[in-house]
Amino acid sequence: MELQEESKSKKIYYTIGEVAEMFDVNQSLIRHWEKYFDILKPKRNKKGNRLFTPRDIENLKLIYYFVKEKGMRLESAARALKVGSENVRRDAEVMERLQHVRSLLSDVLQEINRMEKEGTNEIVVYAETEEEDNREENNI
């Protein structure tokens, strides 16, 4: 469940197309989940288009985690959401962080493989944030 950074932006509402793209699923699946899970209640504009809030996105992350990653049936996922949503949120958050770390490690492995092919020994490390850049400059 690798979501784009869009889900962490400051937008108030997301269209169903944007949401489907975030989760790399069809819009019809999002509409189906909306009918099945009570926690999904997107607002609608005057035209009837669904507008998802960041809270809806968080709920979709949980649903995605249960259904797509854990392979649960919809009934079981709905029950699990009702029973222990706080633990589920924590578990889903941990999974998302682990997937991010895995992605970073994959990038590092690709860079190492590229360097071996080119015969270079120089390693370039990129900091993710300005804060990390500042910390590195102060430690040197």
E strands along 3-138, which residues?
14-15, 43-44, 50-52
Cα separations in angstroms, 29 against 17, 34, 64, 139 = 11, 8, 10, 49
CB 37 within 8 A of CB 75: no
Q: What is the pLDDT of residue 130?
A: 52
Q: Which residues pair with 14 in a beta bridge?
A: 52
pTM above 0.75, yes or no: no
Which tens digit of pLDDT belongs to each residue from 35-78? 888 888 899 999 999 999 998 998 898 899 889 888 899 988 88
**Residue 18, pLDDT above cutoff 70:** yes
User: Which segment of 19-28, 45-54, 90-99, 107-116 scores lowest on mean pLDDT?
Assistant: 90-99
